[in-house]
Structure 1
Amino acid sequence: MSDLPIGYWLKHLDRLIENDFDRALASESVGRRHWQVLNSLHNEPGTIADLDRRLTPFLDENEDTVAPVVERLRELGWVEGLVALALTPRGEAEHEKLFARVGEARARLTRGIADEEYRAAVDVLERMSANLEQG
């Protein structure tokens, strides 16, 4: 077992996940944030404010909104609407195609990790978060 603290592993893993997703989605000229917006709108259409609220935990320190990501998806013809945003039929088709690539990335991430181990790790991280949120 490593002597490095959990903060190191959390940041290191987050960077690796970000890079792996970006590589998996690069052929479509989109990255992890684009996927998150696309998937969020697939699950539930909404406004940029809705997306910001849903995706805040994923935003980097230099990102305060997903608006530029939405604009890129709009340019690709995957998102429509000025206030209320939704996926276009092309956006739905792209979501389906990218869903498979994201599944492959998630499989790489959890290779050799049993379902119970994954759930236990998420549970511990969730409780640690709750501890710090309570102060």
Structure 2
Amino acid sequence: MNATRPLGYWLKLVDSLIDEQFAATLEEHGVTRRQWQVLNLLEQQPATEPELTAGLSPFFASPDEPTSVSEHLMELVESGWISHEEGEFSITDRGHVSLMKLSELIEKIRTQSGQDLDGSEYAAVVATLEKMARNLGWDPDAEDN
């Protein structure tokens, strides 16, 4: 039966299982997956709200997600994990420390999801999915990606 299931089934199932694992792990520490992703983006460089929304736009495709990061940003500012000055958001020292701790937990989930794959198998899956996305019109250089 499993061999006859289409690609879409497996993509949605794996995505759902990843979301469940991330949500359970992050919720234990009082942060959502989107907030964790915001912290990761801000770890790279300060950004405006539109830049953060654009950076996370693929994750706002589901109907149960907000269309912007506003709510997530305000909660992170209130927690002291990020600051907001002159229109830009930046990660704080407290946010950086929290992100490092959360990243260790997330890395365990990633390791678990690929535990029976060798490096070349994982790389092949990722490369194949990227090719399929390009075949379906995804352009990594487009501004809204």
Q: TM-score range by the shorter chain?
A: over 0.9
Gaps of 5+ in 1: none
Q: May I ask how many residue pairs the two structures share in their alignment?
A: 134
TM-score normalised by length of structure 1: 0.92
Which residue is 1:104 aligned to?
Answer: 108
RMSD: 1.4
TM-score normalised by length of structure 2: 0.86
The one of 91, 94, 106 equivalent to 2:95 is 91
Gaps of 5+ in 2: 139-145
Provide, for residues 31-51 of structure 1, a one-character-per-residue CA deviation record: whole Å limited to 9, x for no partner: 211111111111121011111
Which residue is 1:121 aligned to?
Answer: 125
Aligned ranges for residues 19-98 of structure 1 at < 5 Å?
A: 19-62=20-63, 63-82=66-85, 83-98=87-102
- Offset at residue 60 of structure 1 (A): 3.7
Find the aligned partners of 1:36 and 1:109 in 2 and give their Cα distance.
19
- What amino acid is aligned across from residue 67 of structure 2 in structure 1? D
Provide, for residues 74-109 of structure 1, a one-character-per-residue CA deviation record: whole Å limited to 9, x for no partner: 121101014100011111111111111111111111
